[in-house]
Structure formats: structure tokens, C-alpha cells
């Protein structure tokens, strides 16, 4: 799998907010569809770890941060529209 790097995500959510739940579901679905077995997801609840939100500069929830592969990307929202999200993650139709 060396041709396909591992995608590292961190998803900042706000407890059980509806949009946060949606974002988790959408991200999982996306990873299953496009990045099977090559993704890592860390979920940060800003209500439980507000200091991380402050330090990382996360003010809107949910926010998805992709660390790897570079470049890093931030996407806010529930990730409901998969096309722009895939484009932003570099998972456009050509690579898929």
C-alpha cells in the first residue's frame, strides 16, 4: 500500500450536537468508501477538551483536519456534500 499513503484525520466535535454526529457518520462513510484500511481518525470533543480547541484554533464545530498526506486541510461542517469534500482531500474522481 506504499502507493497509497495513510490519511490521518482529526475531527473536532461538540459533544452530542446533531451536526457533530452527522459529521462522524459522514466521515466514516467516506473513509469506508474511498480510503478502506488507510485512514486514522481521532475524534476530539471540544467540550471535554476545550484547551485543545483553543490551542489548535478550532472555533467552529464540527471541523475536520487532515494532517497527512500534506498539504493539511480544514473542512468545516457536517461533510454532507461529499464531492467538494473529496476534492478538498485530494480524493477527486481521477484518484478514486
Partner 1 sequence: MKFAQSPVSKVPGKAQTGIIGLDQITRGGLPRGRTTLLVGGPGSGKTILALQFLVRGARDGDEPGIFVAFEEASKRIVANAEGFGWQLAELRRKKLFFLDAQPLPDLIQSGSFDLGGLLAALEVKTGEMKARRIVFDALDVVLELLPEPVQKRREMYRLHEWLLARGLTGVVTLRAGGDEASAIGNQRFGFMQFMVDCAVILNHSVVHGISQRNLRVQKYRGSGFDEDEAPFVIGKSGLEVAVARTPLRLDATVTNERISSGVKRLDTMLGGGYYRGASVLITGSPGTAKTTLAAAFAEAACRRGERTLFVSFDSDCSEVIRNLASVGMQLARYVKNGSLRMISARTITGSAEAYVVRIKTLAREHGARCLVIDPLSKWPKSGNDMTAQNVAERLSDWSKANGTTLVCTRLLEEMSSRSEDGSPLQISSLVDTWIHLSYLVQAGERNRGLSIIKSRGTAHSNQVRELILNNAGVTLTDTYTAAGEVLMGTLRWEKESAERVANDASDVAGKLKRVRLDADEAELEVRLKSLQTELVAKQVEKALLTRTTESRERELSRGRTRMKELRGADAAISRRK
Residues 9 and 61: beta-carbon distance below 8 Å: no
Q: How far is the CB of 25 from partner 1 (least distance, A)?
A: 11
CA pair distance 53, 56, nearest whole angstrom: 5
Residues 59 and 53: beta-carbon distance below 8 Å: yes
Give the binding range for partner 1 (CB under 8 A) out of 1-9, 17-25, 33-41. 17-25
Q: Quote the DSSP letter at residue 84.
A: H
Q: Which x/- pattern over 21-50 shows residues binding partner 1 (rule: CB under 8 A)?
A: -xx--x-------------------xx--x
CA–CA distances in Å: residue 71 to residues 14, 15, 67: 25, 28, 7
Size of the site for partner 1 (CB under 8 A): 34
Q: Which x/- pattern over 52-91 shows residues binding partner 1 (rule: CB under 8 A)?
A: -xx--xxxxxxx---------xxxxxxxxx--xx--x---
The residue ranges that bind partner 1 (CB under 8 A) are 12, 14-15, 17, 19-20, 22-23, 26, 46-47, 50-51, 53-54, 57-63, 73-81, 84-85, 88
Amino acid at each position: 500500500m506504499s502507493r497509497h499513503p495513510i490519511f490521518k484525520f482529526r475531527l473536532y466535535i461538540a459533544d452530542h450536537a446533531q451536526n457533530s454526529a452527522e459529521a462522524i457518520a459522514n466521515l466514516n462513510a467516506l473513509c469506508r468508501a474511498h480510503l478502506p484500511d488507510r485512514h486514522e481518525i481521532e475524534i476530539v470533543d471540544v467540550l471535554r477538551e476545550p484547551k485543545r480547541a483553543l490551542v489548535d484554533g478550532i472555533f467552529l464545530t464540527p471541523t475536520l483536519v487532515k494532517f497527512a498526506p500534506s498539504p493539511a486541510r480544514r473542512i468545516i461542517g457536517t461533510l454532507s456534500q461529499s464531492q467538494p469534500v473529496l476534492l478538498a482531500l485530494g480524493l477527486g474522481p481521477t484518484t478514486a
